Structure 1
Amino acid sequence: MGGGTEAFPDLGQHCQHPDCHQLDFLPFKCDGCRKVFCLDHRSYKKHECPKSDHNSRKVVVCENCSMSIETTGRDGEDEKVMLERHVKSGNCDPKKKNKPTCPVRRCKEILTFSNTNTCKICQVKVCLKHRFPVDHACKQARASSGPWNEKFLAALASRNAGDCARTGRGSQSSSSTPSSVKAY
């Protein structure tokens, strides 16, 4: 099928979708099947491209060492074959399976590239939740801050959040003073 008009025969192309054949002056060429489509049928899903996964990226995780192995749809290799090749390559080390976690007590966050913070005071790697020296019990920060800070932190830790909500500064208990506003 040719495209264009009588005056400009080389301008545009017809959509190669079986139900469309619309003349499109800015056609799209599919990376997978190499056919030309209009704006409505340009996606792999819309024209049901048989080679839609040729550019897709997959990651297979090795069960032995937790290493991720990237693959693309062009390879056409089975995941099992890739994992076997990885094990035979010598890069598979079961000792690497344990990922580093945040050293703060009861924190089980796995430290990755994007969520790791190194304390500038004690040089300990912690997760983003515990990035402040007070949050990860930085001993050097406590020693340099003085005794007043320790008292403040102890008082803050002993307080309940509910205490602040029930009684405010200078207010009396609601049970001794009757309410002046009645609910209807």
Structure 2
Amino acid sequence: MEFPDVGKHCSMKNCNKLDFLPIKCDVCSEIFCDEHYFYTKHDCANAYLKDNQVPVCPLCNKPIPVGQGQQPDQVVGAHIDNDCQSDPAKNKRKVFTNRCSRKGCKVKEVVPVICDDCGLNFCLKHRHVQDHQCQGKKGAVKERMLNAALARQQNAKSTATTLTDEIHGTMSEDEALARALALSMQDSDNVKTPTQEEMDLALARQLQASEYHGTTAGARSSNRDRCIVI
């Protein structure tokens, strides 16, 4: 059963295939499936005008460069999933928000698929333990700590960039200095202050060490002053 409102039909008369990732010819502007996209496959009358064929996104009409050895339909599909600014593509990205945690995989699912061992989210292809090289709870904690560290680093860069922009923008030098001091005080407040017991213990250790060094120095001086009779 086909859904006529989803995708588009191939313009080849003997094909008329419903393709969910149709490709628009950049010469004749007709829509084709991945099989009849090439100039030679649909007998494009204006193919001589182009030396290299560049597919066009059917949603935003933007040319999508294809590297050597890449499949045009896969490249256009990746563009729609990640970069296309058309309303249908944006709405699709809002629905598919559960990105796979496996390194190198960019697939997103409508519903989360959580691994019972490590607790991370994966796509349907990598949902099994052996498919995503599961490292268990320890690996999940390490992954979350890494993501948190990267997030803190990005926030720090963002704060520094914002402060720099304000200094070079409408903010005066005095206001910028006050802002920097406020941020510095905020960072210093986050540093743990030692308790009174910790301070007393440190002072006692320092006095004990000082007394020990003084006693040792006196003993050495007494030995030097003592005469040895043979």
Q: TM-score, normalised by structure 1?
A: 0.27
Larger radius of gyration: 2
Q: TM-score of the superposition, structure 2-length normalised?
A: 0.23
Q: Which has the higher helix share?
A: 2
